[in-house]
């Protein structure tokens, strides 16, 4: 596979300009780009809610329907911890203290995912090679079943992917805890990166997976007065809820109408520089919605996140207007859907378009 390079011959003034404006915003207001008081309240809310729900399930004697409701809420809070706490911590944007970020990133293990692997797949690969087929592994959702770029193999079933994609997204969390982390860890490459893992990460992978299995499988079976099939229903409901929440939010950032899936030229170059590439491959939704901003950890403002991953998401709404204004100044797109449902509809249209193309090509 060709090693990709972004265009550097002609320097664009866009990113230096927008970075200067954003830096000046923080200086002029005498605030840190890391977490503020409101952000730490969010940390307390989501972490406290997660721990409270888990303890209510483990220690209480509610009937089966109440337990199922609490389990579904726990699935949602698992996703919200990833969105609001772990995501920022792994990007080193939660705190200026790396040890604090490292500590909070370990919470990722409590929701069944490995923070070390996520840092490689997300921070390094996805943030560098966003929406580039064959390089951004976030585009590989369910090979053979979900097709969102023209490079992916086709088959007739994809004609209906707009109907089954969302239920399939729900399986993402189950895949993550039982398959994905192990598969990625033992691949020779992630994206185009050759990886040699530190020995401690072998221990961390298996130790924290075992801890998760104990807390969410063994312990509930030992202490709860439920049958094995009731446990299966609850465990599945937790992960389907978490998987659907994650899947919808992540897809709405890059796989909507207007975003591009650029291909390198024969020399292995991407025609845009890195910052312009991010503007063409990333989209926002519901940027003025405070509820979305609170629960989604700024993932509804992926443009801001991709340009400034080390700025805590609590500041995205403030710096968003700066970025939007500067993009207009440099005649660059600032792709956004007004609401969550507009973004959902746009993603549905993309699924339908690529599914129809696959069917026609296969016919």
pLDDT in tens, 320-341: 999 999 999 999 999 999 999 9
Return the pLDDT at 136.
Answer: 84
- Give the up-direction half-sphere exposure of residue 42: CA atoms within 13 A in the CB hemisphere: 25
Q: What's the pLDDT tens digit per position in 234-263? A: 999 999 999 999 988 889 999 999 999 988
Return the pLDDT at 3.
Answer: 65
Return the pLDDT at 153.
Answer: 78
Return the pLDDT at 250.
Answer: 85
Three-class SS of residue 354?
A: helix
Return the pLDDT at 79.
Answer: 95
Token pair recorded at residue 137: 């592994």
CB atoms within 10 A of CB 320: 19
CB atoms within 10 A of CB 266: 6
Q: What's the pLDDT tens digit per position in 40-86? A: 999 999 999 999 999 999 998 889 999 999 999 999 999 999 999 99
pTM more than 0.75: yes
Q: Please, what is the average pLDDT of the chain?
A: 91
**Residue matched to tokens 């700024």:** 298
Return the pLDDT at 231.
Answer: 95
Q: Which of 149, 181, 143, 146 is nearest to 165 (CA)?
A: 146
Separation of alpha carbons 149 and 137, rounded Å:
12
Q: Which of 9, 18, 7 is nearest to 328 (CA)?
A: 18
Token pair recorded at residue 234: 């609850």
**CB within 8 Å of 131: residues ≥ 6 apart:** 139, 254, 259, 260, 261, 262, 281, 282
Q: Which of 285, 327, 328, 279 is nearest to 306 (CA)?
A: 279
Q: Cα angle vertex 296, ends 293, 299, to 5°?
A: 90
Percent of the chain predicted with pLDDT > 70: 96
Give yes or no for residue 88 having a pLDDT over 50: yes
- The neighbouring-strand residues paired with 301 are 284
**Residue matched to tokens 């020779």:** 188
Separation of alpha carbons 6 and 12, rounded Å:
12
With residue 96 as reference, give the H or E element that holds it. Answer: none
> 94-127 burial, b if ≥16 CB within 10 A, otherwise e?
bbeeeeebeebbebbbbbbbbbbbbbbbbeebbb
With residue 169 as reference, give the H or E element that holds it. Answer: helix 161-169
Return the pLDDT at 8.
Answer: 61
Give yes or no for residue 344 having a pLDDT over 90: yes
């Amino acid at each position: 596979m060709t090693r990709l390079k972004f265009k550097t011959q002609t320097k664009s003034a866009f990113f230096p300009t927008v970075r200067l404006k954003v830096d000046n915003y923080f200086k002029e207001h005498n605030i840190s780009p890391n977490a503020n008081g409101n952000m730490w309240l969010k940390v307390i809310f989501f972490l406290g809610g997660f721990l409270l729900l888990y303890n209510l399930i483990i220690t209480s004697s509610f009937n089966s329907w109440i337990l199922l409701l609490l389990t579904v809420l726990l699935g949602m809070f698992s996703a919200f911890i990833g969105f609001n706490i772990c995501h920022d911590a792994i990007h080193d944007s939660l705190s200026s203290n790396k040890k604090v970020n490292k500590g909070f990133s370990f919470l990722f293990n409590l929701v069944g995912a490995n923070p070390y692997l996520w840092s490689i797949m997300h921070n390094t690969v996805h943030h560098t090679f966003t929406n580039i087929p064959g390089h951004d592994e976030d585009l590989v959702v369910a090979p053979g079943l979900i097709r969102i770029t023209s490079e992916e193999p086709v088959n007739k079933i994809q004609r209906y992917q707009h109907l089954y994609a969302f239920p399939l997204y729900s399986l993402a969390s189950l895949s993550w805890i039982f398959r994905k982390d192990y598969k990625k860890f033992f691949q020779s490459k992630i994206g185009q990166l050759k990886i040699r893992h530190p020995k401690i990460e072998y221990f961390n992978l298996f130790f924290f997976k075992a801890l998760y299995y104990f807390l969410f499988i063994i312990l509930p079976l030992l202490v709860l007065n439920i049958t094995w099939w009731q446990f299966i229903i609850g465990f599945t409901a937790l992960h389907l809820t978490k998987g659907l929440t994650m899947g919808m939010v992540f897809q709405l950032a890059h796989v909507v109408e207007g975003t591009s899936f650029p291909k390198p030229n024969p020399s292995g170059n991407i025609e845009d520089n890195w910052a312009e590439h991010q503007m063409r491959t990333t989209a926002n939704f519901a940027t003025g919605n405070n509820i979305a901003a609170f629960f989604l950890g700024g993932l509804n403002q992926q443009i801001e996140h991709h340009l400034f991953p080390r700025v805590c998401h609590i500041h995205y709404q403030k710096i968003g207007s700066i970025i939007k204004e500067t993009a207009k100044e440099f005649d660059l797109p600032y792709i956004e859907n007004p609401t969550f449902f507009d973004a959902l509809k746009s993603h549905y249209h993309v699924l339908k378009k690529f599914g129809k193309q696959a069917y026609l090509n296969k016919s």
